[in-house]
Amino acid sequence: MIREKETTLYIGPQHPGITGNMMIKLKVAGDTVVKAETHVGYLHRAFEKLIENRNWLQSFTLLCRFCVPEPDPMELTFARAVEELEGRKVPERAKYIRTIVSELARIQSFLLWYGGQSGSSGLYTVGQWSVGDRNYILDLFEDLTGARIYHMYMWPGGVRRDLPKGWIDKAYRTMDYLEGRLETYNQLLFDNAIFQKRAQGVGIIPKDKAIEWGVVGAPLRGTGIKHDVRIDEPYEAYDKIDFVVPTFEGGDVWARAMVRREEIKQSIHIVRQALDHLPGGSYYNRIPNPMKWTVPAGEAWVKTESVRGEVGFYVASDGSNKPRRVHLKGAAYTHGVSVLEKILPGENIADVSFILNSLGVCPPEIER
């Protein structure tokens, strides 16, 4: 007879399940996880503290670095929070451009997720191809903002520049290309028996507990609950755009994957609609000299939908030229700690990084 003894296993801080450094201390019996504990502290860069010593506009260079795979929702959320504090109006054209950039950011993040999720199940080809396709979105960003990853493009009052000549046409053609590629990804990943068998019934979030546990975004919609900040509290041009919020029952990795598979289609659909109806006029309601610019005292809590779930900023101003407090709430703060610790027990060791990927855990968002 073999007695099963519990062993401690440390996964991380560097491992393929996540973008960033984070450790999970597992108690395992054989191959099964008995207890999981998240350990962070490898990536703390004190961004929130540094922002308190910078003026409102300088904060953007730090803000977008909160999470590498998705920098745009950070700058958009913060810009909206500052606009709420100031009562600053955003021109209609800027709202549409912000919607387009947000959805492009979602598409590039979906493609990066394809890579991570497939890589952690051993299907390496998908990742090579999707990261290659992601570059076409980054090309669009480079043409628009001058940068590929960190754009600092959506700032208070609108956007930094108008769309360059020929950009709209290039964006349409990129969307056509990506839409054509989706069938390839279906064949490679979603219709693949290996992926299906690995993903189904793994990492289940119970539907009746999901909202109470603080689950948001695709993992929440993967339990069959339809919540999306773009619908619940519409911002920018989302209230004028027709799109569907996909849901899937099950709450497992497979359900989250199915939700994301549909969401990338919806994002392409939104970009096309916003390009079709792009209004003319100004793209920027100019702010005063940024070095002397003060924001009225008050507080704002603003949310935006990212691929990993909702991104929220609590911003407090004391009326000076620097933020009093900027506090980020990213989806990973709950998904990567309390939710993960609840759903890992009972799972196989080999599925840990697979589950991490499906939750979209981004450690820099936990530590900030």
Rounded to whole angstroms, the Cα distance separating 305 from 42 reads 26
User: Could you tell me the smallest distance in angstroms from the CB atom of residue 131 to other proteins?
Assistant: 30
Point out which span in 150-158, 160-168, 194-202, 295-303 binds other proteins (CB under 8 A).
295-303
Point out which span in 41-49, 180-188, 191-199, 248-256 binds other proteins (CB under 8 A).
41-49
User: CB 360: neighbour CB atoms within 10 A?
Assistant: 30
Draw the binding track, 233-272, toward other proteins (x: CB under 8 A; -: no contact): x---------------------------------------
User: Could you tell me the smallest distance in angstroms from the CB atom of residue 12 to other proteins?
Assistant: 15
What residues contact residue 326 under an 8 Å CB cut-off, 6+ apart?
48, 51, 52, 59, 63, 78, 313, 314, 315
Among 20, 26, 33, 48, binds other proteins (CB under 8 A): 48
* Residue 324 sits in the site that holds other proteins (CB under 8 A): yes
In the region spanning residues 161 to 220, those forming contacts with other proteins, defined by CB under 8 A, are 211-214
* Residue 54 sits in the site that holds other proteins (CB under 8 A): yes
In the region spanning residues 70 to 109, those forming contacts with other proteins, defined by CB under 8 A, are 84
Point out which span in 75-83, 182-190, 239-247, 324-332 binds other proteins (CB under 8 A).
324-332
Among 95, 151, 308, 329, binds other proteins (CB under 8 A): 329
In the region spanning residues 345 to 364, those forming contacts with other proteins, defined by CB under 8 A, are none
CA 13-18-24 angle, 5° bins: 40
Point out which span in 62-70, 153-161, 266-274, 336-344 binds other proteins (CB under 8 A).
336-344
Among 266, 327, 348, 349, binds other proteins (CB under 8 A): 327
Rounded to whole angstroms, the Cα distance separating 75 from 229 reads 16
* Residue 325 sits in the site that holds other proteins (CB under 8 A): yes
Size of site (CB under 8 A) for other proteins: 38
Burial class (CB in 10 A: 0-12, 13-18, 19+), 321: middle
Which parts of this chain interact with other proteins (CB under 8 A)? 40-41, 44, 46, 48-50, 52-55, 58, 84, 211-214, 225, 227, 232-233, 299, 301, 303, 312, 314, 316, 324-325, 327, 329, 333-334, 337-339, 342, 367
